[in-house]
Amino acid sequence: MPLRAHSKSIIEKNVRNIAGRPLFAWSLEQAIASQCFDDIYVATDSPKIRKAVLEEFPSVTVLERSAATCMDTASTESAMLEFQQQVPFDVMCLIQATSPLTRADDFRSARHKFLTENLDSLLTAVPSKRFFWSVHGTPVNYDPLHRPRRQDFEGYLMENGAFYLTQRKLLEECGCRLGGRIGIHEMAAESGIEIDDETDWIVVEQLLLKQKRQTVNAVAAEIKALVLDVDGTLTDGGMYYGPGGEALKKFNTRDAHGMKLLRENGIRVGVITTETSPSVEARMRKLGIDEYYPGARDKFAVLLQLATRWSVSLQHIAYIGDDLCDLECMRRVGAAFCPADAVPEIMQQAHHVCGHAGGNDAVREVCDLILKARTAVLAEVSASRLAATGAMKL
């Protein structure tokens, strides 16, 4: 993935956050998840990008990119040819950060097509049933005298620039990413937008947020444990002090009932807080929550201990937090949630930002979401079994 420091249309586009993550992280994460590649590289001229990539993905190798390949007039092929001189390979996959809607399955399907059809190169494209005209008023892809109905028009495939596969020999001989036997991997229509300006950014961000919501529902159904913070999550963040120090904190009864429902459905609940508070301890006793860890300076270390003791992977743990001390936990779990009034850094990391504030039904909202997702999956399984039984009887 080539990433240069300066973008002409959007300042620092490649590391700017979109839907809570740096732009480069979306497609790079999917490339890693696809398990299609022996090694994954980022080529950049920016120390800031280098640092951001390695923080997100320590397994990625970051290479120095020359100034000549980062000029506004430089082609992407120049970066590919420079990479070719540094790294031995048989087939290169050029991944574009400006197509963050690329999925792991796209890489897998494209790789399979490339290998089974013995291709020299491959591009990605999306279906289009638009009618195109040249600037001189000449129809490009249809006859106006025999204008087809949209439903009868086969349409064309539009190159979307998400990624390309290229044989090393082809790149050496032609200096081009495409040539020889060319194949096309068709992607979802919404992935047709390459981010080139602020309007593209706004549209793609909404699509990514929609994708995140769908992902959260799928992940929530697999959740086996919920771990959460106290101040600003179970409470509104307020503290009532008397002459002798802290006296009272306000908790929400509906939040408590939500956690009770989770436990009744076999989902573990743990609470980790940096504070040590008699009132919180009393509340935990009242709720019957044994996994309560006050005074935690390293919340993630405690979370890891919990995961080990419960024999639950981090991917099957949900976490609710509202402040910077929760950030590492949020980054590492399968489903990260935050109240509506969490700090911006936490909101960016969350898979789901609650419609309610801390201490005001945010925790209940998450509990209900998890239970609803689980119920939906169980209903599907039950329906499938019933259908299978009916088929056997027939």
* 354 within 8 A of 366, measured Cβ to Cβ: yes
| CA dist 12 → 5, 162, 196, 236 (Å) | 6, 19, 12, 36
For 103-138, what is each residue's pLDDT tens digit? 999 999 999 999 999 999 999 999 999 999 999 999
Among residues 170, 205, 240, the one where a domain terminates is: 205
Residues 171, 251 within the same domain = no
Residues 241, 201 within the same domain = no
What is the model's pLDDT at position 384?
61
Parts of the chain with a pLDDT under 70: 246-247, 381-394
Instruction: Give the integer Cα–Cα distance in Å for 70 and 92.
Output: 20
Instruction: Give the integer Cα–Cα distance in Å for 280 and 294.
Output: 9
Structure tokens that stand for 215 in this block = 């992902």
Structure tokens that stand for 50 in this block = 């280098």
What is the model's pLDDT at position 389?
60
Q: Assess if residue 89 is contained within a domain.
A: yes
Instruction: Give the integer Cα–Cα distance in Å for 296 and 303.
Output: 10
Instruction: Give the integer Cα–Cα distance in Å for 25 and 53.
Output: 8
Residues 191, 226 within the same domain = no
Residues 361, 247 within the same domain = yes
What is the model's pLDDT at position 394?
54
What is the model's pLDDT at position 8?
78
Q: Which domain holds residue 321?
A: 218-379
Q: Assess if residue 387 is contained within a domain.
A: no
Among residues 146, 181, 205, the one where a domain terminates is: 205
Chain centroid to CA 383: how far?
30
What is the model's pLDDT at position 382?
63
CATH, residue 136? 3.90.550.10
Residues 178, 314 within the same domain = no
The dihedral region occupied by 130, where left means phi > 0, alpha psi between -120 and 50, and beta the remainder, is: beta
* 79 within 8 A of 69, measured Cβ to Cβ: yes
Question: pTM of the prediction?
Answer: 0.69
* 165 within 8 A of 159, measured Cβ to Cβ: no
Residues 31, 77 within the same domain = yes
What is the model's pLDDT at position 381?
61
What is the model's pLDDT at position 96?
97
Instruction: Give the integer Cα–Cα distance in Å for 339 and 351.
Output: 12
Structure tokens that stand for 152 in this block = 């009868």
What is the model's pLDDT at position 390?
60
Among residues 205, 230, 251, the one where a domain terminates is: 205
Name the domain count of the chain: 2
* 117 within 8 A of 183, measured Cβ to Cβ: yes
Residues 163, 232 within the same domain = no
Structure tokens that stand for 346 in this block = 């936490």
Structure tokens that stand for 238 in this block = 């307020």
Residues 195, 225 within the same domain = no
